[in-house]
Structure 1
Amino acid sequence: MPRLELSGASAIVTGGASGIGEASARQLADAGAHVVIADLQDDLGAEVASSVGGLFVRCDVTSIDDAGAAVDAASEMGPLRALVNSAGLGRAGRTIDRNNVPMDLEQFRFVINVNLIGSFNMLAQAASAMAKTEPVDSDGSRGAVVNMASVAAFDGQIGQAAYSASKGGVVGMTLPIARDLSATGIRVNTIAPGLIDTPIYGEGEQSEQFKAHLGQSVLFPKRLGYGEELAFMVMECITNPYMNGEVIRVDGGIRLPPR
């Protein structure tokens, strides 16, 4: 059984302007896909899109209109076969602070809205377009979705209540959505990254020292992961016809301590 063919097809990568999303976009383009970079970072998004021969679409993943625009743009370039839900954010905050003041509920709601509801919004819009394409094989395959969760869904640390809840929601919806979409030949998998070297850590000597310190807590290899390594698993989930309904940790064996 051949892998899912991406040459001439289109793909959407949310959060594709940097980090794991950018690495995934580049590997999708190398596989022959026309890639839509769906992001809020205008300059970086346009730069990445240009470098992979794709298209940048400014996209708030929580917006139905923006999600639809990204899907429409991709569908004009070729049959939509892949969505990588890589957009996400974190807002650290304890349930109650040192003065026993509760966390701002809007902060909690904002993280859930972007990471969980935004992922579902993009997925539903993309699946609707995928379902209207012609199958690519005798199994009736039409495409694949890869969501990005986090090991914090399982090992949430102090101050990560909102982030862990949002990523736990992504994990929890993976199987039921895979079941929902099975009738249309669309596969759904989720990757849970560990500590990954992305722009969130900044630049410079202090940043490098901090990342080296974090890397010592990884089982092996004792370093932060690279975006390209996550993208390898993204591509496996998309192109392997028998990968479905799964949540995969890509974390070097780390188990996060409480803090």
Structure 2
Amino acid sequence: MTPNPFKRADGFPKTAIITGGASGIGAQTVRTFYEKGCNVAIADLSSTWSAAEELILSLPDPHRAKYFPTNITSWDDMKDLFQRAERVFGQVDIVIANAGMMESKGFFEFEEEDGGDLKEPVDAYRVIDVNLKGTMNTLRLAMYHMFSNPLDSDGSRGSIILIASTSGYFGGTGVVSYISSKHGVVGLCRASQRVANEHHVRVNVVAPFVTPTYITAGYSTEWAKRGLPANTVEDVAVAILDSAIDPARKGSSVIVAGKMVREIEARRSELVGEWLGSDIAELMVEGGKFFDELGGYPLPKLRDQSC
């Protein structure tokens, strides 16, 4: 009998944590994993309480879903999220690092203070905090908790999906903080693979193209008028689910663009020689082997900051 990818080896339902799970792509991802039989932990800001509760009440068996008010930029909030999810559901098996935001002010809008000095771009920093720091918090705690999980029937201890964007690979729209943060999310996945593989945890990326949500409200209607393809939240949620349960996916990144779905990381690796030239590509491979043999990149000692 083929093992059910949505059940643990002991027969109990798997538990998925979805950050930013009260609305948009996150809410549809909650529904999609729930429909497959998973327990779902909805992690979102306290301001989303009514939306999260409405989502839970719309599910046939609300007991398999639980809302945890969480600010992903707060380490204490995130520690509490994982601890409470384990107390309620027993074990965390799947984590979707979905929570994110877009800036509301342009990075190059040079606002001045009363004295004429340039204002600090606080809004831009907030985007980096949520999209990158918050995702790092999510990944680090997910890995930590999954390391103690028993091996599943597919040989893994857990599955983590980081939600990036096509802006994590491209991005010439001038949305500086968002694009920078999503490039960081892609790098975070790449940098995690050695440790993830050692501990049998799979870390992958899903990178949606234009998807009508709150973030894209400013242009979604005009985009549709021009006949350009867009995702639905259902398209993205299915790609997240497929990546989360596929045991062959380790360090992959799936771009979702309308009904077109492409794995990009493996193809990127195949084209490195053509892109950089075979000599530099070979050097990159040898450099990777060198650091693997060392057990990772030797970190420099912390400099004395007392002077």
> In 2, are the aligned partners of 1:36 and 1:56 still within 8 Å (CA)?
yes
Tell me how far apart the structure 2 counterparts of residues 96 and 24 of structure 1 sit (CA, whole Å). Answer: 34
Q: 1:62 aligns with which of 73, 90, 111?
A: 73
2:169 alignment partner, SS class: helix
> In 2, are the aligned partners of 1:35 and 1:49 still within 8 Å (CA)?
no
Tell me how far apart the structure 1 counterparts of residues 151 and 73 of structure 2 sit (CA, whole Å). Answer: 29
Change (3 A) 1:136 1:224: same
Alignment correspondent of 1:153:
168
1:32 aligns with 2:48: no
Shift of 1:79: 2.0
Tell me how far apart the structure 2 counterparts of residues 98 and 251 of structure 1 sit (CA, whole Å). Answer: 34
1:80 alignment partner, SS class: coil
Q: Please give the per-residue CA displacement for 1:183-225, whole angstroms capped at 9, x wherever unaligned.
A: 22110111111111224455xxxx8xx534213667xxx4421
Larger Rg: 2
Alignment correspondent of 2:238:
232
Following TM superposition, where does structure 1 have runs of at least 4 consecutive aligned residues deviating by more than 4 angstroms?
98-103
1:88 aligns with 2:100: yes
Change (3 A) 1:156 1:217: farther
Tell me how far apart the structure 2 counterparts of residues 26 and 81 of structure 1 sit (CA, whole Å). Answer: 17
Gaps of 5+ in 2: 262-307
> In 2, are the aligned partners of 1:57 and 1:70 still within 8 Å (CA)?
yes
Q: 1:247 aligns with which of 239, 242, 253?
A: 253
> In 2, are the aligned partners of 1:96 and 1:102 still within 8 Å (CA)?
no
Shift of 1:69: 1.6
Letter matched to residue 47 of structure 1: E
Tell which deviates more after alignment, 40-49 or 52-61: 40-49
Tell which deviates more after alignment, 187-196 or 174-183: 174-183
Shift of 1:23: 0.8
Tell me how far apart the structure 2 counterparts of residues 71 and 217 of structure 1 sit (CA, whole Å). Answer: 44
1:127 aligns with 2:143: yes
Tell me how far apart the structure 2 counterparts of residues 103 and 145 of structure 1 sit (CA, whole Å). Answer: 38
Q: Please give the per-residue CA displacement for 1:1-27, whole angstroms capped at 9, x wherever unaligned.
A: 756334512110001001111111111
1:136 aligns with 2:156: no
> In 2, are the aligned partners of 1:81 and 1:142 still within 8 Å (CA)?
yes
- With the length of structure 2 as denominator, give the TM-score of the two structures: 0.72
- Superposed CA RMSD: 2.5
Letter matched to residue 43 of structure 1: S
1:84 alignment partner, SS class: strand
Matches within 5 A, 1:10-25: 10-25=15-30
Tell me how far apart the structure 2 counterparts of residues 147 and 159 of structure 1 sit (CA, whole Å). Answer: 23
Letter matched to residue 105 of structure 1: P
Alignment correspondent of 1:190:
205
2:168 alignment partner, SS class: helix
Letter matched to residue 211 of structure 1: S
Shift of 1:103: 7.0
Letter matched to residue 6 of structure 2: E
> In 2, are the aligned partners of 1:4 and 1:238 still within 8 Å (CA)?
no
Matches within 5 A, 1:208-227: 211-215=220-224, 222-227=228-233
Q: 1:167 aligns with which of 173, 182, 203?
A: 182
Alignment correspondent of 1:257:
none
Letter matched to residue 24 of structure 1: T
Q: Please give the per-residue CA displacement for 1:52-78, whole angstroms capped at 9, x wherever unaligned.
A: 420000000011111112112221213
> In 1, are the aligned partners of 2:99 and 2:131 still within 8 Å (CA)?
yes
Q: Please give the per-residue CA displacement for 1:211-257, whole angstroms capped at 9, x wherever unaligned.
A: 34213667xxx442111110111011111111110122112369xxx
Change (3 A) 1:78 1:157: same
2:5 alignment partner, SS class: coil
Tell me how far apart the structure 2 counterparts of residues 129 and 87 of structure 1 sit (CA, whole Å). Answer: 19
Tell me how far apart the structure 2 counterparts of residues 80 and 217 of structure 1 sit (CA, whole Å). Answer: 43
Tell which deviates more after alignment, 44-53 or 144-153: 44-53
Letter matched to residue 215 of structure 1: A
Alignment correspondent of 1:110:
126
